[in-house]
Amino acid sequence: MSKPVVAIVGRPNVGKSTLFNVLAGETISIVKDTPGVTRDRIYADCTWLNMNFTLIDTGGIEPDSSDIILSQMREQAEIAIATADVIVFIVDVRQGLVDADSKVADMLRKSKTGCPCSE
């Protein structure tokens, strides 16, 4: 039986890489206040509450951007979403929900992983 795959997704600078590093137990992903530092998928084998899984850190998803780099980051996140068994959707509670969060949530609801909250 293969390990489940967990993808962490959300807008840029909401804490995805920080959570990834905490769960991985070491600093693997770079954490900066500057958006766009994580651009590719970053993987780590993790154990949490006696569960073994593969964790994926993704770059921030900017749903409406036509910028080439942001589009490529979105594609990398979409690959992670498509391969994940579980998706952890991170938002910035200090900012509150913004339009881009709703668009990312819509994208996740349409994924094969789905969203039990939409059923």
Number of domains in the chain: 1
**What pLDDT digit, counting tens, does each position of 34-66 carry?**
555 556 789 999 998 999 999 999 988 988 888
CATH code of 15's domain: 3.40.50.300
Which strands form 5-10's sheet, in the order they lie side by side? 42-48, 51-57, 5-10, 86-90
Band of the pLDDT at 119, cuts 50, 70, 90? very low
Proportion of the chain above pLDDT 90, given as a percent: 50
pLDDT of residue 1: 63
Whether 118 shows a pLDDT value over 70: the answer reads no
In-domain check, residue 108: no
Q: Give the mean pLDDT of 11-18.
A: 90
In-domain check, residue 64: yes
pLDDT of residue 114: 53
In-domain check, residue 115: no
Domain with 83, as residue range(s), is: 5-95
d(CA 77, CA 60): 8
d(CA 35, CA 32): 7
Task: Detail the DSSP E strand segments found in the chain.
Answer: 5-10, 42-48, 51-57, 86-90
In-domain check, residue 117: no
